Amino acid sequence: MSKKIIVANWKEKGTIEEAQKWIYSVAKEKVLLNFQLVVCPPFTILATLAQLIKKENLQISLGAQDVSQFHEGKHTGEVSPDALQELATFVIVGHSERRKDFGETNEIVAQKVNLAIRHNLIPIVCISDIGQVLALKTLLPNFSHFIAYEPLFAIGSGQADTPENADSIACQINAILPRVQVIYGGSVDSKNIALYMRQKNLKGVLVGDRSADVNFFLEVIRNVE
């Protein structure tokens, strides 16, 4: 069975210098052998971390937090999947903050996922309800990568969903899209991470911007069994 994954979604946090220190501290942890770590810093930090990970041969994967919905063209501010492919292995798509703050629809999310896959990026699609999974299934019937179940009430609130409920939602998602790997995100911390990592239908967790704080994140991963 493949290792479970832990995704660190830094959102807007982190500078290049902080990121370098973070990687060196986290890379020393023996517990990294027990799961696959995917760090998703802001775009501006990806290149530095990609070089560092390669140079030191670290067992840490990189992810972007978004990708353009266009393969190419004139779209000021967007980062193309071609450009990302050089630096990252994973890409988060459709986080609820992008859906809410930037008007990303299910169609745009599906377009981004499609492009990501065509450019060998592994998409982690965030959904906050089953309706969004059904929409994904309609638009991409064979989707088989990662889905992060992130209920809105749990994001950044300190009120995580229960591990049992998250597991049962994962089961419902797999009834719709049997080949996807479901992870849970929303107020994951050092006290509850082991409970999510232990659930049968959950293949890992996603930790939000507190993961950019190296002390917080070290505490979290040290509590994975």
Total residues contacting ligand PGA (rule CB under 6 A)? 13
CA separation for the pair 185, 204 (Å, rounded): 9
Q: Give kind and range of the element (H or E) at residue 98.
A: helix 96-101
Q: How far is the CB of 203 from ligand PGA (least distance, A)?
A: 16
Among 5, 8, 9, 45, binds ligand PGA (CB under 6 A): 9
Structure tokens at 222: 């040290």
Shortest Å, Cβ 14 to ligand PGA: 14
Q: By CB under 6 A, is residue 156 in contact with ligand PGA?
A: yes
Q: Does 207 bind ligand PGA (CB under 6 A)?
A: yes
Q: HSE (CB half, 13 Å, CA atoms) of 91?
A: 30
For residue 174, count CB atoms less than 10 angstroms from its CB and return exposed for 0-12, middle for 13-18, buried for 19 or more: middle
> Is 29 one of the catalytic residues?
no
What CA–CA distance (Å, rounded) separates 211 from 217?
5
Is the CB of residue 193 less than 8 Å from the CB of residue 7? no
Choose, by CB under 6 A, the member of 169, 186, 195, 197 that binds ligand PGA: 186
Q: Nearest distance from residue 82's CB to ligand PGA, in Å?
A: 26
* Least Å from the CB of residue 126 to ligand PGA: 7
150 is catalytic: yes
Strand ranges (E), 54-152: 60-64, 90-93, 122-127, 146-149
Out of 97, 104, 145, 150, the active site residue is 150
- Residue with token string 């990806």: 46
Is the CB of 110 or the CB of 124 nearer to ligand PGA? 124
> Among 208, 217, 220, 224, which residue sits at the site for ligand PGA (rule: CB under 6 A)?
208
Active-site residue (options: 56, 95, 104, 225) = 95
Q: Is 202 exposed, middle or buried (0-12, 13-18, 19+ CB in 10 A)?
A: buried
Contact window for ligand PGA (CB under 6 A) among 24-32, 54-62, 101-109, 186-194: 186-194
What residues contact 30, with CB distance under 8 A and at least 6 apart? none
**Residue 81 in contact with ligand PGA, rule: CB under 6 A:** no
Residues that bind ligand PGA (CB under 6 A): 9, 150, 155-156, 185-188, 206-210
